Structure formats: C-alpha cells, structure tokens
Amino acid sequence: MASAAVSLVAFGSAPADACTDVSDTVLDLIVDATPVSSGAVLFTAVQKEAFGYTSTDIAVLWGSTSPNSAQYYTNFFAGNHVTKISTATGIAAGDVLVIGAAGTYTGHTAIVTGAATQLSPALNPVFANTKQWAVPIADSTTTTHGCSVSYPDSRCVGGTFTAGEGTAYMRLYSDLSDNLKGYSWSVTSGATYYWPETRPYVIGRLTPCPPL
C-alpha cells in the first residue's frame, strides 16, 4: 500500500480533519517533550506523526528527507503541496508559517495553532495604513518570542527563557484590506519589524487541509 504522502502527491488525498491534525499533533509533541533541533525539524516530525509519512515520503514532497526552513520556504512559495494564505483573516490552526533565508539568517518554521487576532491598540513600531495581528504559534527555537504576560512564550518561566519546543505568539502586519505584509518575532512593543522584501515569509495550508 502506498504511504500517505505518496498518495497525496499522486492522487490529491484530502482528509477533512487534516488541519486540526497538524495543530493538535504539534501541541502533543510539545507536551511529550519530543526533542527537535529546529522549527523545520518539528514540522517534519508533525507530518510523520499526523499523516504517517516516512522519510521517503517527506523527500517526495519537499525534496529532502529532512528539509530545512529555506527548503520549506522555496516549496511553499512555489505553492508545492500547499495553498498559500495571503490575508490575516484567512489564517487558521494547522497553517504553517515559513520564513525564508536572508543573508546569514537561515529561516524559521512555525505551526499556527489558532486564528489571528487584531491588536488594538497597535504596538510600536506602527506604520500608516496597516493593521497588526497576534498569531499563536508552536515551534522550536533558541530565541524567545517575548516574555509578554498577554502574549506569552511557554519557554519563558520567571523571566528565564529555555530553548526548545514551545508555544508563543508572533506579530503579523497587513494592509487595511488584511493583505499580509511584514512581521515581528514577538508581540511586544518595539520588536523589530521585518520587511517582506528583505526577510520574506509565506503562510501555507497543506493540500490535505480543507479550504475555509
């Protein structure tokens, strides 16, 4: 019998609960303290656990048995096996946010665990004709997404951050029509804003996931 990923590539299999599977699985892996070295590795582990994919299946889908964030970004940007999400209001649990490599930065991968919520009031930096959105995510990182009380990083306890898997929030910007623009790493005032022209990102919904 063909594995799930091979079936996906060949036949476009579409289980109705796939997006929930992605977001639920990453939270289960975090609770189980499954050790992973990066957000990309965590996303690969989620696919294997949620869909029964093998390393061979991952290679068929993404071109490597263990894709890094730059490789995932290339595939997501091309629309390979994903539906790209272009608006903040279109984001849902199970979507995947992938930041591309830029200069010495190697990129990042995070799994969305819920809908985006508009920030009101907006936090610095504020730009004209934009909206700001808090997006709940799960990932593995060595850099905190902020020790905010309102938008916490689960790895930040008592003001001390411990690298690894966890849940947190990122801040996305959109225009007034909700079309996505840049982002900041955390929902904290003064967090660095990254322009999409210099540090691009894409949000994709795996093709097994139902459209919303």
Amino acid residing at 37 = S
Instruction: Supply the DSSP string of 22-37, one letter for each residue.
Output: HHHHHHHHHHTT---S
Write the DSSP symbol of residue 129.
T
Token code pair at residue 63: 């071109």
Contact 168, 153 (CB under 8 A): yes
What gap in Å lies between CA 100 and CA 87, rounded to an integer?
Answer: 18
Give me the chain's average pLDDT, please. Answer: 90
DSSP 3-state of 197:
coil
Specify the pLDDT at position 208.
Answer: 78
Specify the pLDDT at position 3.
Answer: 39
What gap in Å lies between CA 56 and CA 53, rounded to an integer?
Answer: 8
Query: 9 lies in a domain?
Result: no
pLDDT digits (tens, 9 = 90+) for 133-191: 999 999 999 999 999 999 999 999 998 999 999 999 999 999 999 999 999 999 999 99
**Positive or negative: CA dihedral 197, 203, 25, 115:** positive
Specify the pLDDT at position 2.
Answer: 35
Host domain of residue 157 = 16-206
Query: 113 lies in a domain?
Result: yes
Query: 158 lies in a domain?
Result: yes
Query: 3 lies in a domain?
Result: no
Which residues of the chain are under the pLDDT cut of 70? 1-18, 210-212
When divided into structural domains, the chain yields a total of: 1
What gap in Å lies between CA 23 and CA 113, rounded to an integer?
Answer: 5
**Residue 67: cis peptide before it, omega within 30 degrees of 0:** no
